[in-house]
């Protein structure tokens, strides 16, 4: 069967297609919004085209980076994929590999999350390009993202440097018709040529490599001056010009078209965000009275502009210093600039129409909550019942961060942060001779990502706390990617299983117990015993593995053993269950003055029977 010539693709799928068409041999990743769809799409194309590409969900971004980098050392093409905060984890090899350089094309796809929609920070990956002194390309659409992947591999091989492709969320998650091209067949048998002065350089050689890196960067900048990755559009009205990057460029073009202003103002689209082609940018600015820079999430291009005399943007507060540049924000900026410059707009601008349309729908405002039947809720509820509100609850990154709503997550820093924060809190109180209950929670994937090293350090240094590993058998928040504990590989085949329990044991933990958190009383009793272990003279850290599959990932245990509940007429509507347990299926019926079960969302887990202290939630009869 021949391949289709064109398909509507998600930006991330277009990036995957670009990776495959470039003849890339090795693709590694750790999931994280907005990058998670890229590796599964590579797997899809690999299967459709019967390719020999090695794909893997690595245990974390640093590991993913280094595995792909090593493939590049052998002359193969390699790509590593992650979200922007993932690059913090991989920053160490990024900095070092900029010095050593690469052999086969090596592309880092790091997806940014301006907003942020699903991240701890809205940091700008492009700053890492400046920091590490590597090139960064910034696509404005899915179609361009695919082409930029190819350009990135070629650039990487020409200059023997890692190259960053930085799509922001509106490119990663946009959809567009994308043309397919043939897949490059690159015969690259692995050929690692020993060169200790490069691959194992000592500090003396590193100085030389740094000078070499600076020279590479200068020649890349020169190349970017005439690169077709940047686009200059003419405009007669030179009182205002735009420098625009990424999806801001697409929004700007659409808005000007909608306002009958297409072609009026000069626009410079910068696709090569670093190193900035200074002559191109300087020449553009010289031809305008004022230039508005539109980029996100931060002022990376603006910061690199040498003469900012005519430039306005994020740095001088004209563009908001934080947050996504949505179409509404860009419309407001354009309307404001037009007004200031006395430019008459050909039609009345209504910047708030989209927000108004949404408001008119009258949708109820709902805060994010754990799903009905979620095992995390049961675990948090049992944990709170065991240790009360005086305990400190360090949390971690995952859907279980929503334990915040149940007052069962007091801190959330980064991947693995629950274990280190718990350890640090213990040491701080212990120093003052105080014994404060501390119970940390971390997901299975997050534990494998960064919890293992933290736990071994905590054990080694004598910390004492309860660690609840919320093991729902998948990486739920980012789309059900398999974990190493499941043994399933990125392409669906089985690999070697890495058991969490064995890792915990290997870290030196003596108290390890596993329990189904749906068994709330048993779970509560176990957490109490775990706490006691932390206080015994010969005790230490106690690990409780709360094990039950995510209800969205595997509903079969619920289907096999449904527990249908009802709320009795004795319910007085005190709302305790709604506040302390927060299942979306328990709703207050204002007319009845009591809580009822919303059958449309209830999944018959039966855990809420434990949530009413007055025993009003009961198993329903036939
Ligand atoms: S079910 Fe129980 S906890 Fe919930 S509102 Fe009724 S009486 Fe209160
Ligand atoms: S049985 Fe109770 S806890 Fe489970 S989904 Fe239904 S209402 Fe929620």
Is residue 349 pLDDT above 70, yes or no?
A: no
Task: State if residue 572 touches ligand 1 by the CB under 6 angstroms criterion.
Answer: yes
Contact 81, 29 (CB under 8 A): yes
Query: How confident is the model over 437-449, as pLDDT tens digits?
Result: 999 999 999 999 9
Report how far ligand 2's centroid is from the alpha carbon of 386 (Å): 21
Query: How confident is the model over 126-150, as pLDDT tens digits?
Result: 999 999 999 999 999 999 999 999 9
Please report which ligand is nearest the Cα atom of 594: 1
Task: State if residue 565 touches ligand 2 by the CB under 6 angstroms criterion.
Answer: yes
Range with the lowest mean pLDDT among 99-113, 324-338, 375-389, 561-575? 324-338
Which pLDDT score, from 0 to 100, does residue 357 have?
80
Query: How big, in percent rounded to 5, are the helix, strand and coil portions of the chain?
Result: 40, 15, 45
DSSP designation for 494: B
Q: Which long-range contacts (CB under 8 A, 24 or more apart) does 309-313 make?
A: 310/285, 311/243, 311/285
Q: What is the mean pLDDT of residues 468-480?
A: 91
User: Of 140, 147, 187, 192, which is closest to residue 167 (Cα–Cα)?
Assistant: 140
**Cα 366 to Cα 363, 369, 582, 608, distances in angstroms:** 9, 8, 12, 21
Which pLDDT score, from 0 to 100, does residue 367 have?
84
User: What is the dihedral sign for C-alpha 459, 461, 465, 467?
Assistant: negative
Query: How confident is the model over 159-195, as pLDDT tens digits?
Result: 999 999 999 999 999 999 999 999 999 999 999 999 9
Query: How confident is the model over 7-21, as pLDDT tens digits?
Result: 999 999 999 999 999
Phi then psi dihedrals of residue 14, to 5 deg? -65, -40
Burial label for 95, CB within 10 Å (0-12, 13-18, 19+), is middle
CA distance 337 to 15: 35
Which pLDDT score, from 0 to 100, does residue 341 have?
82
Count CB-CB contacts under 10 A for residue 621. Answer: 6
CA distance 72 to 78: 6
Residue having the nearest C-alpha atom to atom 3 of ligand 2: 608
Contact 73, 103 (CB under 8 A): yes
Which pLDDT score, from 0 to 100, does residue 520 have?
97
Report how far ligand 2's centroid is from the alpha carbon of 372 (Å): 6
Per-residue pLDDT band at 359 (split at 50, 70, 90) = confident
Instruction: Tell me the best of 614, 615, 618, 620 to mutate to test the pocket of ligand 1, counting ligand atoms within 8 Å of each CB and taking the most.
Output: 614
Helices (H), 90-182: 91-100, 125-132, 142-159, 169-172
Is residue 494 pLDDT above 70, yes or no?
A: yes
Q: What is the mean pLDDT of residues 352-365?
A: 78
Task: State if residue 558 touches ligand 2 by the CB under 6 angstroms criterion.
Answer: no
Please report which ligand is nearest the Cα atom of 580: 1
Q: What is the mean pLDDT of residues 572-601?
A: 95
Residue having the nearest C-alpha atom to atom 2 of ligand 1: 612
CA distance 599 to 555: 17
Query: Which helix H or strand E contains 603, and what residues bound it?
Result: none
Listed in sequence order, the residues at least 6 apart from 361 whose beta carbon sits closer than 8 Å to its beta carbon are none
Task: State if residue 617 touches ligand 1 by the CB under 6 angstroms criterion.
Answer: yes
The mean pLDDT of the chain is 94
Count CB-CB contacts under 10 A for residue 193. Answer: 10
Task: State if residue 261 touches ligand 1 by the CB under 6 angstroms criterion.
Answer: no
Report how far ligand 1's centroid is from the alpha carbon of 441 (Å): 27
Is residue 490 pLDDT above 90, yes or no?
A: yes
Q: How is residue 178 written in tokens?
A: 């994308």
| Ligand 2 atom index nearest CA of 604 | 1
Task: State if residue 567 touches ligand 1 by the CB under 6 angstroms criterion.
Answer: yes
Query: How confident is the model over 509-555, as pLDDT tens digits?
Result: 999 999 999 999 999 999 999 999 999 999 999 999 999 999 999 99
Please report which ligand is nearest the Cα atom of 615: 1
Residue having the nearest C-alpha atom to atom 7 of ligand 2: 585
CA distance 476 to 543: 21
Which pLDDT score, from 0 to 100, does residue 477 have?
85
Task: State if residue 575 touches ligand 1 by the CB under 6 angstroms criterion.
Answer: yes
Is residue 1 pLDDT above 60, yes or no?
A: no
CA distance 14 to 44: 12
Query: How confident is the model over 370-423, as pLDDT tens digits?
Result: 999 999 999 999 999 999 999 999 999 999 999 999 999 999 999 999 999 999
CA distance 463 to 305: 50
Please report which ligand is nearest the Cα atom of 573: 1
What is the CA 450 to chain-centroid distance, rounded?
A: 15
CA distance 429 to 218: 53
Range with the lowest mean pLDDT among 347-361, 577-591, 606-620? 347-361
User: Of 31, 171, 173, 25, which is closest to residue 478 (Cα–Cα)?
Assistant: 31
Please report which ligand is nearest the Cα atom of 576: 1
Which pLDDT score, from 0 to 100, does residue 407 have?
95
Which pLDDT score, from 0 to 100, does residue 213 have?
98
Report how far ligand 1's centroid is from the alpha carbon of 495 (Å): 47
What percentage of the chain reaches a pLDDT higher than 70? 98
What is the CA 186 to chain-centroid distance, rounded?
A: 31
What is the CA 601 to chain-centroid distance, rounded?
A: 28
Contact 145, 174 (CB under 8 A): no
Contact 243, 249 (CB under 8 A): no
């Amino acid at each position: 069967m021949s391949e289709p010539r064109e398909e509507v693709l998600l930006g991330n799928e277009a990036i995957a297609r670009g990776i495959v068409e470039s003849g890339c041999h090795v693709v590694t990743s750790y999931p994280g919004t907005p990058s998670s769809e890229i590796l599964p799409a590579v797997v899809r194309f690999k299967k459709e085209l019967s390719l020999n590409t090695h794909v893997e969900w690595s245990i974390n971004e640093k590991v993913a980076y280094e595995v792909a980098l090593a493939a590049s050392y052998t002359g193969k093409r390699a790509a590593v994929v992650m979200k922007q905060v993932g690059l913090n984890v991989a920053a160490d090899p990024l900095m070092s590999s900029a010095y050593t350089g690469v052999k086969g094309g090596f592309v880092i796809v790091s997806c940014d999350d301006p907003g942020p929609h699903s991240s701890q920070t809205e940091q700008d990956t492009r700053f890492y390009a400046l920091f590490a002194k590597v090139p960064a390309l910034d696509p404005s659409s899915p179609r361009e993202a695919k082409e930029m992947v190819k350009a990135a591999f070629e650039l990487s091989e020409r200059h023997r440097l890692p190259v960053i492709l930085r799509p922001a969320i509106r490119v990663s998650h946009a959809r567009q018709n994308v043309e397919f091209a043939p897949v490059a067949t690159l015969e690259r048998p692995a050929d690692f040529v020993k060169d200790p002065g490069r691959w194992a350089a000592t500090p003396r050689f590193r100085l030389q490599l740094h000078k070499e890196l600076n020279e590479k960067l200068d020649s890349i900048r020169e190349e970017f001056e005439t690169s077709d990755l940047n686009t200059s559009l003419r405009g007669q009205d030179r009182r205002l010009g735009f420098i625009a990057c990424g999806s801001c460029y697409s929004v700007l073009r659409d808005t000007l078209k909608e306002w009958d202003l297409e072609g009026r103002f000069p626009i410079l689209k910068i696709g090569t965000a670093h190193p900035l082609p200074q002559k191109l940018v300087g020449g553009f600015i010289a031809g305008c009275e004022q230039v508005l820079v539109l980029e996100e999430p931060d002022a990376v291009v603006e910061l690199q502009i040498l003469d900012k005399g005519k430039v306005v943007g994020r740095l001088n507060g004209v563009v908001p210093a934080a947050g996504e540049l949505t179409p509404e924000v860009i419309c407001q900026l354009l309307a404001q600039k037009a007004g200031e410059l006395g430019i008459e707009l050909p039609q009345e601008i209504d910047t708030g129409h989209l927000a108004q349309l949404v408001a008119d729908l009258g949708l109820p405002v709902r805060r994010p909550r754990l799903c009905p039947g979620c095992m995390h809720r049961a675990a948090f509820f049992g944990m709170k019942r065991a240790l009360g509100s005086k305990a400190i609850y360090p949390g971690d990154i995952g859907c279980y961060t929503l334990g915040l709503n149940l007052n069962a997550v007091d801190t959330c820093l980064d991947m693995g942060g629950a274990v280190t924060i718990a350890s640090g809190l213990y040491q701080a109180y212990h120093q003052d001779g105080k014994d404060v209950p501390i119970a940390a929670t971390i997901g299975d994937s997050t534990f494998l990502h960064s919890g293992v090293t933290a736990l071994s350090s905590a054990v080694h240094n004598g910390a004492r706390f309860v660690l609840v590993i919320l093991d729902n058998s998948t990486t739920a928040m980012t789309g059900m990617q398999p974990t190493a504990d499941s043994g399933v590989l990125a392409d669906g085949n089985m690999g070697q299983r890495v058991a969490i329990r064995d890792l915990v044991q290997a870290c030196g933990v003596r108290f390890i117990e596993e329990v189904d958190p749906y068994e709330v009383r048993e779970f509560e009793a176990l957490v109490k015993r775990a706490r006691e272990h932390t206080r015994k003279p010969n005790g230490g850290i106690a690990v409780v593995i709360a094990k039950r599959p995510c209800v969205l990932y595997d509903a079969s245990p619920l289907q096999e053993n449904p527990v249908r509940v009802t709320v009795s007429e004795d319910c007085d509507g005190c709302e305790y269950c709604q506040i302390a347990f927060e299942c979306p299926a328990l709703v207050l019926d204002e007319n009845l003055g009591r809580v009822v079960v919303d059958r449309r969302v209830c999944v018959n887990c039966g855990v809420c029977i434990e949530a009413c202290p007055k025993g009003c939630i009961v198993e329903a009869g036939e």
